[in-house]
Structure 1
Amino acid sequence: MTDLEAFLSGAQVDDAVAALRPDYRALLIAVDGLPASTSDAGTASDATGRTAEGLLVRAEQSAAELLTTMAVEETPHVAAWREAYRQFGAKPQRTRNSLEALLRRAVAGSGLPRVNPLTDIYNAVSVIHQVPLGGEDLTAYVGAPRLLRAAGTEAFDVVADGQPVVEHPEPGEVVWCDDAGATCRRWNWRQGRRTQLRPDTTAALFILDALAPMTDAALTAAGDDLLTHLTGLGPEVRVATRLLRATSSAARE
């Protein structure tokens, strides 16, 4: 059984990231005891009887309502993340943060992707609460998660044309890493293959990324909503949380 508190205690936001965006906060949620699932995407139910599919539909409706009054890039949190991407040299119109990418898919003809129950749940919560949110298989981590500006040598494994490929971030790019390499590029753009969630995942790390104008209260509400769905998946689910701020002394809650 994973020591969730010990795992989260090693998480860090590097000072170079803090200098870039001192308003940044990350809510980390570590979970184990999740029931392994061999079910199809969108079929896992929580204790309230709502399914991952139902949550996705709710998220699609939420996005449609929001975007009747403004364009995706004008929504406050998307706009903040676009500016953050520009600050470390990424072009947000070409590499969209995960929230923007999901919002665009939510109102497109195909709707939000149906991947696996855990991924579907966190994607839906991301859209409903307007926060970039990533999920990773905690057992695949080598050491603690760290957010830093890349040296450019970090290994990042992906699939290209059906084949495994190791790429490297650009120097100065903001990336999440562990001791084995990058786990997510461009802050919250693309997650690597090594730590991706799978139907048989039983321990996971979820990262909720916030910039101003998102408040701590709104970030906490998003985390609480995610936890409600996760703890409803089974009686053995255990959780630990930590709030990291973009300072050299990360605050623990």
Structure 2
Amino acid sequence: MHDTTDHQELLAAAYVDDAVFDLRPDYQALLLTVEGIVPGASDESSENLLRQAEESAAQRLAEHPVEEFDHVAAWREAYRAFGAKPQRTRNSLEALIRRTETGLPRVNRLTDIYNAISVLHQVPLGGEDLAGYVGAPHLVRASGEEPFEVISGGEPGLEHPKPGEVIWRDDAGVTCRRWNWRQGPRTQLTAETTKALFILDALAPVTHGDLTATADALVGHLAEFSPNLRTSRRVIPAGPGPESP
């Protein structure tokens, strides 16, 4: 398990493979580590934020269908580029927006907050429990042999991504399939999580400033109930490899 307290070291070791940038040269990721989180179940504060996100999405949906939202459309194009069908495999942002019509899921305070921020800022946002993480995050195109732990029918199981699929992974295997489609149970956030890695994915027209604002909003809401919160962040634009943070 990942047990380092040096989050700067973790972030410096993270990388996006050149093969991913070949698909989308406009891609950038903001990686945010957070520790000192006061864990807890869903509460009034997270409920209010979810309702704000649902109302914001309803206003947008009244003007355009979700597939015409700028960032959703960009992600649909990116999914097609590595062979995924966006009508069947939806990026996390589109999946959340579609759920706002019947209500976003209420999971735990931490998950509720980052889901709401994702919808409010229109940025795919994933959260991983660093207690279950092994090594640093890498975004690569899969060989097809990487293990992806799942829960199926209440029982643990193992799947593998398709060759060429874009995956987030650590040293133990896949943490999120198809860029930002499906996260695994090994590193999922719970009501007991105290340290986390958040990954904010962006394609044009989302800018560096948009990513920063989204991360700032997330940190601000977490700090409201975690007075000793400590954070580190890094933006990975096109170009860097594992040896050059």
Aligned to 2:47: 53
Amino acid across the alignment from 2:53: A
Match of 1:18 among 17, 21, 46: 21
Distance in 2, matches of 1:244 and 1:139, equals 23
Aligned to 2:206: 214
Aligned to 2:191: 199
Contact persistence 2:16–2:241 (CA under 8 A): no
Runs of 4+ in 1 over 2 A off after TM superposition: 248-252
TM-score w.r.t. length of structure 2: 0.95
Tell which deviates more after alignment, 229-238 or 121-130: 229-238
Amino acid across the alignment from 2:36: G
Aligned to 1:96: 90
Deviations 1:51-98 (A, max 9, x none): 000000000000000111100000000000000000000000001000
**How many corresponding residue pairs?**
241
Contact persistence 1:17–1:246 (CA under 8 A): no
Name the % identity: 61
Q: Secondary structure at the match of 2:200?
A: strand
Aligned to 2:57: 63
* Structural mapping, 1:222-241, within 5 Å: 222-241=214-233
Contact persistence 2:29–2:201 (CA under 8 A): yes
Distance in 2, matches of 1:230 and 1:12, equals 26
Q: Secondary structure at the match of 2:64?
A: coil
Aligned to 2:163: 171
Q: Secondary structure at the match of 1:121?
A: helix
Aligned to 1:105: 99
Deviations 1:144-193 (A, max 9, x none): 00000001011111111111111000000000000000000000000001
CA shift, 1:25, in A, is: 0.5
CA shift, 1:248, in A, is: 2.8
Aligned to 1:47: none
CA shift, 1:249, in A, is: 5.5
Contact persistence 2:18–2:241 (CA under 8 A): no
Distance in 2, matches of 1:243 and 1:90, equals 26
Amino acid across the alignment from 1:201: T
Aligned to 2:123: 131
Q: Which stretches in structure 1 are left out of the alignment for 5+ residues? A: 45-50
Cα-Cα RMSD: 1.4
Distance in 2, matches of 1:249 and 1:156, equals 24
Contact persistence 1:136–1:197 (CA under 8 A): yes
Deviations 1:192-228 (A, max 9, x none): 0100001100000000100001111111111111111
Contact persistence 1:138–1:205 (CA under 8 A): yes
Q: Which stretches in structure 2 are left out of the alignment for 5+ residues? A: none
Amino acid across the alignment from 1:248: P
- The alignment status of 1:72 with 2:66, answered yes or no, reads yes
- The alignment status of 1:86 with 2:80, answered yes or no, reads yes
Deviations 1:19-66 (A, max 9, x none): 1111000011100011132x3x2x16xxxxxx0000000000000001
TM-score w.r.t. length of structure 1: 0.92
- The alignment status of 1:190 with 2:182, answered yes or no, reads yes
Match of 2:37 among 8, 12, 34: 34
CA shift, 1:127, in A, is: 0.2
Amino acid across the alignment from 1:21: R
